[in-house]
Amino acid sequence: QKEVEQDPGPLSVPEGAIVSLNCTYSNSAFQYFMWYRQYSRKGPELLMYTYSSGNKEDGRFTAQVDKSSKYISLFIRDSQPSDSATYLCAMSANSGYSTLTFGKGTMLLVSP
């Protein structure tokens, strides 16, 4: 079983739709959960960060973590064509020096 499972998509939605992206994981030691966005031919950039369980909102983006189910989600409201990218979930057991364990990434396509 992979440590982090993420559906690669692609996920195609019309502009304005609510997008739900998610990952499941198996390592109960993970405490820090991140969502990275990666545009084509670019490096991943941090979008959202959550520690332990709970929700975090930043503009149109909401990250949710359910540690009891080992399930994390990213919601995008009012999706825009500029949101078209690959979204990678990543997690680590400790902050600072800890390495990241990534999901495969979900490709999102938002059509005008």
Partner 1 sequence: EAGVTQFPSHSVIEKGQTVTLRCDPISGHDNLYWYRRVMGKEIKFLLHFVKESKQDESGMPNNRFLAERTGGTYSTLKVQPAELEDSGVYFCASSQWTGPGYEQYFGPGTRLTVT
Site residues, partner 1 (CB under 8 A): 2, 4, 6, 32, 36, 41-46, 49, 51, 88, 95-97, 99-105
Closer to partner 1 by Cβ: residue 97 or 112: 97
CB 108, min distance to partner 1, A: 17
Instruction: Provide the 8-state DSSP code for 83.
Output: G
Closer to partner 1 by Cβ: residue 48 or 79: 48
Closer to partner 1 by Cβ: residue 44 or 62: 44
Say what the alpha-carbon torsion angle 11, 51, 5, 63 is, to the nearest 10 degrees.
-20
CB 73, min distance to partner 1, A: 18
Q: Are 102 and 89 in contact (CB under 8 A)?
A: yes
Instruction: Provide the 8-state DSSP code for 81.
Output: G
Closer to partner 1 by Cβ: residue 84 or 101: 101
CB 93, min distance to partner 1, A: 12
Q: Are 7 and 23 in contact (CB under 8 A)?
A: no
CB 18, min distance to partner 1, A: 26
Q: Give dist(CA 56, CA 93) in Å, integer.
A: 19
Q: Give dist(CA 46, CA 43) in Å, integer.
A: 10
